[in-house]
Amino acid sequence: MSCAGLYEAALEHSHHEVAAVPAALAETTKMVCPNSGMSPAGCHSKLIVGGLALVGIGAAIGYFACKKASCCSSRVNKKIRLGEGKVADTVDVEDIGEKKAFCRCWKSEKWPYCDGTHGKHNKETGDNLGPLIVKKKE
């Protein structure tokens, strides 16, 4: 076979392969939504909208689950004068004596003074909370 003949055969062979690519692509678009009667573009749009809806639903479930879990633990004071807008106390310096420990965990039965309840809180939560200690200068 001459060089020209080889060239012609190669050209015809590559032409058949190139022509087969659009046919293969058309076949794959038919496979996405078989028997739906929809055009490939409409079918792809439907799949994209469905996928976005699933992502949106998943995000909403995650958001509300996180919000529910954090709403219960975000409040620090769960028992001391909850009806007041702000809990503020004044202690006279004369009443402190040599030294007083003030509660910072909001769980003391002797509020505003510390009764050591933070120790239990620290064991349960892994926290490192302690009292505010006020004392006279030495």
Instruction: Tell me which residues are annotated as active site.
Output: 86
Q: Helix (H, G, I), strand (E, B), or coil: what is residue 113?
A: strand
Q: Quick one: how far is CA 57 from the chain centroid?
A: 14
**Beta-strand runs (E) in the chain:** 99-102, 132-135
Measured between alpha carbons, how far is 62 from 45 in angstroms, rounded to an integer?
26
Parallel/antiparallel/unpaired status of strands 99-102 and 132-135: antiparallel
Q: Torsion-angle region of residue 81: left (phi > 0), alpha (psi -120 to 50) or beta?
A: left
